[in-house]
Amino acid sequence: MAAVVRDLMDLDAEARDAAVGEIAEMLAWFEGAPVDKALAHADRAPMRDLDDEERVEELSGLLHASQHSDAFGFDLVGWVPSSPDGEGRAVCLEVKSSGGEGFHLSRNQWSVAEHLHGDGAGDRYAVLVVRRKKAGGVPAAMDLLSDPVALVDGGHLRREADGYQIAYRTGGSYGGRSSTRPI
């Protein structure tokens, strides 16, 4: 959470306002009371009279989707570059911790990823896998898996039939947004 808020706090006011606007547009792809709660923060976050602590609170309320409802199908909205030297854009982030090379996605999480993929916005859903060492401590690495549906279809991820357990290997492979989604 701190990292996604910091990414927005590091932007100048004009760029942050544009990012908040894009994040609000993406959240509007969904509907329901939890969406309204998150979007209320989009109205306050750009206010110029907020101090840094108040702005962080408003950005946290906007970005931390799962605090409003688990029905979103993702934990956070991040401002993520489209490529290593690309511009930032709004992305639904499901954060997973893994001690190996796999993680579990719920049916709802997979359904949201499929919905966005089917609408041509699959790259707006990513799983951020925080790989943990067996001994604990600082994460060993973090992997950002953009459009997991396309990655499964392309053989880069393997989805097991029993639920939505997703297996992956680093560096390897396994051989219209106009609709809304109720929350």
pLDDT of residue 87: 87
pLDDT mean over 42-47: 92
Structural domain containing residue 148: 2-175
- Would you say residue 183 lies in a domain? no
Whole-number mean pLDDT of the chain? 88
Q: How far is CA 144 from CA 93, 126, 141, in A?
A: 9, 6, 10
Number of domains in the chain: 1
Asked if 45 and 58 count as a contact pair (C-beta separation under 8 A), the reply is yes
**Tens digits of per-residue pLDDT, 9-34?**
999 999 999 999 999 999 999 999 99
- Would you say residue 181 lies in a domain? no
Burial 13-47 (b: 16+ CB within 10 A, else e): eeebeebbeebbebbebbeeebbeebbebbebbbe
- Would you say residue 167 lies in a domain? yes
The identity of residue 42, as a single letter, is A
- Would you say residue 180 lies in a domain? no
Asked if 183 and 69 count as a contact pair (C-beta separation under 8 A), the reply is yes
- Would you say residue 11 lies in a domain? yes
- Would you say residue 30 lies in a domain? yes
- Would you say residue 58 lies in a domain? yes
CA 28 from centre of chain: 15
**Tens digits of per-residue pLDDT, 125-158?**
999 998 888 777 777 788 899 999 999 999 999 8
- Would you say residue 83 lies in a domain? yes
